[in-house]
Amino acid sequence: MSANLPKSVLVIGAGGREHAIVRALLTSPACPRVLCAPGNAGIAAEAPCYPIAADDVASLVALARREHVEFVVVGPEVPLSLGLSDQLIAAGIPVYGPKADGARLEASKVFTKQILLKHKIPTAPARIFTEVEPALVYVRLRGAPIVIKADGLAAGKGVVVAQSLVEAESAVCDMLAGNKFGAAGSQILIEDCLTGEETSLLVVVSGRDYVILPTSQDHKRVGDGDTGPNTGGMGAFSPAEVVTTELLRRIECEIVRPSVNAIADEGIAFCGTLFIGIMLTPVGPSVLEYNTRFGDPETQVVLPRLATDVLALLWAATCGELAKVTLDVHSEHALCVVIAAKGYPESYPKGDPIILPPGSRVPASVTIYHAGTANNSAGQLVTAGGRVLGVTSLAPTLREAAARAYATCDQIQCVSKYFRRDIGAKQLNRQ
Choose from ligand GLY, ligand AMP, none: what does 39 bind? Cβ within 5-8 Å by kind.
none
CB of 68 to ligand GLY, least distance (A): 31
* 220 touching ligand AMP, by CB under 6 A: yes
CB of 251 to ligand AMP, least distance (A): 16
* 298 touching ligand GLY, by CB under 6 A: yes
**Site track for ligand GLY across 262-291, x = CB under 6 A:** -----------------------------x
CB of 305 to ligand AMP, least distance (A): 22
Taking Cα atoms as reference points, which of 291, 337, 326 lies closest to residue 76? 291
- Give the one residue of 207, 228, 277, 284 binding ligand AMP; rule: CB under 6 A: 277
* Sign of the alpha-carbon torsion through 369, 375, 381, 386: negative
Backbone angles phi, psi at 65, to 5 degrees: -65, -50
Choose from ligand GLY, ligand AMP, none: what does 298 bind? Cβ within 5-8 Å by kind.
ligand GLY
- Give the one residue of 151, 218, 309, 332 binding ligand GLY; rule: CB under 6 A: 218
CB-based closest residue to ligand AMP: 289
Choose from ligand GLY, ligand AMP, none: what does 159 bind? Cβ within 5-8 Å by kind.
ligand AMP
- Give the one residue of 239, 295, 304, 390 binding ligand GLY; rule: CB under 6 A: 295
412 within 8 A of 390, measured Cβ to Cβ: no
Q: Which is nearer to ligand GLY, 155 or 327 (CB)?
A: 155
Q: Which residues, 140 to 169, sit near ligand AMP by CB under 6 A?
A: 147, 149, 159, 161
Q: Which residues, 283 to 302, sit near ligand AMP by CB under 6 A?
A: 288-289
The footprint of ligand AMP on this chain (CB under 6 A) covers a number of residues equal to 14
The footprint of ligand GLY on this chain (CB under 6 A) covers a number of residues equal to 7
* 296 touching ligand GLY, by CB under 6 A: yes
Which spans of this chain sit near ligand GLY (rule: CB under 6 A)? 218, 232-233, 291, 295-296, 298
Which spans of this chain sit near ligand AMP (rule: CB under 6 A)? 124, 147, 149, 159, 161, 191, 193-194, 198, 220, 230, 277, 288-289
